[in-house]
Amino acid sequence: MFSAHTVSVVREAEYALMARVPDGALMRRAAAGLAAECVRLLPRVYGSRVVLLVGGGDNGGDALYAGALLAARGAAVRALLAGGSAHEGGVGALRSAGGRVRKFADGEADGAEMFDADLIVDGLVGIGGRGGLREPHAALAVLASNAPVPVVAVDVPSGVDADTGEVVGAAVRADATVTFGTHKPGLFVDPGAERAGRVRLADIGLGPELPGPGLVCPQAVDIASLLPTPGAESDKYRRGVLAVRAGSDPYRGAAVLCVGGALRTGVGMVRFGGGKGVADQVIGRWPEAVADFRDPQSSTDLSPGRVAAAVIGPGRGTHPANADELRALLDSDVPVLVDADGLTLLTGDGGGPLAGLLRERTAHTLLTPHAGELARLLDADRADVEARRLEHAARAADRFRCTVLLKGSTTVVAHPGAPAVANPTGTPLLATAGSGDVLAGSVGALLASGLPAREAAMCGAYLHGRAASLARGGAPISASDLLDALPLAVAELSRSRRV
Ligand SMILES: NC(=O)C1=CN([C@@H]2O[C@H](COP(=O)(O)OP(=O)(O)OC[C@H]3O[C@@H](n4cnc5c(N)ncnc54)[C@H](OP(=O)(O)O)[C@@H]3O)[C@@H](O)[C@H]2O)[C@@H](O)CC1
Ligand SMILES: Nc1ncnc2c1ncn2[C@@H]1O[C@H](COP(=O)(O)OP(=O)(O)O)[C@@H](O)[C@H]1O
Ligand SMILES: [K+]
C-alpha cells in the first residue's frame, strides 16, 4: 500500500527530522535519490546533456545538487534559473563540478538547450508552490513539456498542487517524478497524477517522523488480501446474496450489466427485483439470476432469500415509486450501494428524509457518483469536483455519513475518519456507457460477500480498472467486454496473493 501525506504533515516531520541530522543532510539524501533516477533515465551519464530548471527554493536546491552529482560523472549540466535567486550552496556545488548556470530571462521563448538535451530536471517548485505558476516558471514548464526529451520532476511536477492534484494554468508534464520521504496525494489523483508519470519514492529517513497517511493507494497484493475467496464450507448463502434494483423498461441494459458485474465478480446469488420486461431481459442473459417481478416499477421487499446487500439505481428511474423503493432499502439493515438514479433521487430530496435516513443508518452505505452527480449532490460546480476530487468526495462522505466512491479519471474513495483511497487502475477506455452499471454490480457483490463499504469500493474499483486493461489489450471496449474480463482480473489478483 503506498501512503501519502499532505504538505503540512510533511513539513512537521521534516522539522522533527532536521533537529536530529546534520545541516543539509536531507537535501543531500534527496539529491542522491534524484540523481539515481536521472542515471536510470539517461542512456549513459558521461557526455549526456542535462538541463536543470531551477526555482528559488529548496526544490531548485535538490535539482542543483543532483546536477552536481551528474556533472561529477561527466554529464554536461546546465541550470536555467527561473528567478533572481537560487539555492546558493547548490549553485556553488554545480559550478564546482563543472556545470553551467544562467538566468532564464522573462519573456525568453527559446529554450533551445531543452530541445537539445537528453534529460530535463524540473526543480521549479515543489511542496512550497502556491497557486498557478508565475512567469517565467510557467513558460519554462510549457517548454519542458513540449520538448521531445524525458522530464523528471523533483518531488512534484511544478504546477501540480501537492495536496489535491489540482492544476491551475501551466504545469510540467513529467515522465517520472522522484518524491521525497513520502508520497504526496496530488501524485495519485488527476489531474496531477497524469502529470507525474512513473512515481518513485526516495527514502530520506522521514518515515519514523510520519503519522498515519492521509491517503493510500492500494497495490495488487493489498487488494488480493481483501478479496473474498469461497472456502470449503461455503454455500451460496454464505458467499452472499445481492439484491439488485436496477433497470427499467426504457433502460433494460443497465439491469443486465449490473447483474453481470455482480455475477462475474463472484457472489452466492443475485436476486433481481423489477418489472417483467426488464426481468425477462435479465434472465435471458443471466439465467442464474433469480428474478422477483411483482411490481412493475419498484420492489421494496428485501425479505426473501437472505439478502446480504443491495444495489439500487442504475437505469432505475426517478418516479415516486423509485423513491419509495430507495426509502425502503435505506430503512433496512442491509448494506446498500446507491448509484445513478438513486443519487438523483437523493439530490431531489434536498437534504430531506432520504438524507436523514442515510445519516442515521448503521449498516454500510456506499454512494457511487460520477463528478456530475456529486456536483449536484453537493450543489457544487462539476469542474471544481474534477479539479479537487478528494475534497469533494470527503465532503459528501461527511455530509451523508457514509462511504463515497467518486468515479472518473482517478476514482477516489472517501470514508469518514479513514484515509482517502486513490485507485491506481483504469484507463480512459472505461469512459463508455454502461461501465458504471458494471461497477455498481461488482462492488455490490463484494458488499454482499461481507466486505465493509470502504474495502468493497476499493476492491471493486481496482478490479473494474484491471478488467478494462485486460479486456481487449488496449483496444476500445464496451461495457459488455468488462463482464468477460472481470473474472480475469479476479484470477490475476488471486495469483498475486501473498503466500
Ligand atoms: N520535505 C522534506 O523533507 C524535504 C524537502 N526537500 C525539498 O524542498 C522542497 C520544498 O522547498 P521550499 O520549501 O523551499 O519550497 P519550493 O517547493 O522550492 O517552493 C518555494 C519557491 O517557489 C516559489 N514559488 C512558490 N509558488 C510559486 C508559483 N506559483 N510560481 C512561481 N514560483 C513559486 C517561491 O517563491 P516566492 O513565492 O517565495 O517568491 C520559492 O522560491 C521540496 O519540494 C523538496 O524538493 C528536500 O530538499 C529535503 C527534504
Ligand atoms: N477518463 C477516464 N479514465 C478512467 N476511468 C474513467 C474515465 N472516465 C470514466 N471512467 C470510469 O468509467 C466508469 C463510468 O461510469 P459512469 O459515469 O457511471 O457511466 P455510465 O453511467 O454510462 O455507466 C466509472 O467507473 C469511471 O471511473
Ligand atoms: K518540481
Non-local CB neighbours of 116 within 8 Å, separated by 6+ positions: 49
Q: Is the CB of 123 under 6 A from ligand 1?
A: no
Residue 304 reports pLDDT greater than 80: no
Sheet holding 2-4: strands in order across? 2-4, 215-217, 420-422, 412-414, 403-406, 365-367, 336-338, 309-312, 241-245, 269-273, 290-292
Residue 297 reports pLDDT greater than 80: no
The predicted pLDDT at position 234 comes to 81
Sign of the dihedral through C-alpha 261, 265, 266, 267: negative
Atom of ligand 2 nearest to the CA of 437: 23
pLDDT in tens, 392-446: 999 999 999 999 999 999 999 999 999 999 999 999 999 999 999 999 999 999 9
Q: Is the CB of 436 under 6 A from ligand 2?
A: yes
Nearest CA to ligand 1 atom 3: 14
Could you tell me the pLDDT band of residue 296, with boundaries at 50, 70 and 90? low
pLDDT in tens, 123-154: 999 999 999 999 999 999 999 999 999 999 99
Task: State the SS3 of 127-185.
Answer: CCCCCCCCCCHHHHHHHHHHCCCCEEEECCCCCECCCCCCECCCCCCCCEEEEECCECH
Residue 108 reports pLDDT greater than 90: no
Query: How far is the C-alpha of 300 from the C-alpha of 313, rounded, in Å?
Result: 13
Q: What ipTM was reported for this prediction?
A: 0.96
| Least confident segment among 50-54, 231-235, 437-441 | 231-235
| Least confident segment among 69-73, 159-163, 295-299 | 295-299
Q: Is the CB of 130 under 6 A from ligand 1?
A: yes
Atom of ligand 1 nearest to the CA of 181: 3
Q: Is the CB of 213 under 6 A from ligand 1?
A: no
Q: Is the CB of 411 under 6 A from ligand 2?
A: yes
Whole-structure pTM value? 0.95
Ligand nearest to the CA of 482: 2
116 and 38 Cβ atoms separated by less than 8 Å? no
Q: Which residues surround ligand 3, an ion (CB under 5 A)?
A: 122, 126, 153-154, 158
Q: How far is the CA of 383 from the centre of ligand 3 (A)?
A: 25
- What percentage of residues in the chain have a pLDDT greater than 90? 88
Phi, psi of 148 (to 5 degrees): -80, 55
The predicted pLDDT at position 497 comes to 77
Q: Is the CB of 434 under 6 A from ligand 2?
A: yes
The predicted pLDDT at position 323 comes to 94
Ligand nearest to the CA of 435: 2
pLDDT in tens, 238-259: 889 999 999 999 999 999 999 9
Q: How far is the CA of 215 from the centre of ligand 3 (A)?
A: 21
The predicted pLDDT at position 498 comes to 61
Nearest CA to ligand 1 atom 27: 129
Domains along the chain with CATH numbers? 2-217 (3.40.50.10260), 220-495 (3.40.1190.20)
Residue whose CB lies within 8 A of the most ligand 1 atoms, among 14, 135, 155, for a mutation test:
155
DSSP notation for 55-111: -SSHHHHHHHHHHHHHHHTT-EEEEEESSS---HHHHHHHHHTT-EEEE--TT----
pLDDT in tens, 148-189: 999 999 999 999 999 999 999 999 999 999 999 999 999 999
Q: Is the CB of 368 under 6 A from ligand 2?
A: no
Could you tell me the pLDDT band of residue 298, with boundaries at 50, 70 and 90? low
Nearest CA to ligand 2 atom 21: 436
Q: How far is the CA of 269 from the centre of ligand 2 (A)?
A: 26
Q: How many CB atoms lie within 10 A of CB 34?
A: 28
The predicted pLDDT at position 121 comes to 98
What average pLDDT does the segment 41-60 reach?
97
- What percentage of residues in the chain have a pLDDT greater than 70? 97
Q: Is the CB of 477 under 6 A from ligand 2?
A: no
Non-local CB neighbours of 176 within 8 Å, separated by 6+ positions: 37, 41, 150, 151, 152, 153, 197, 198, 199, 200
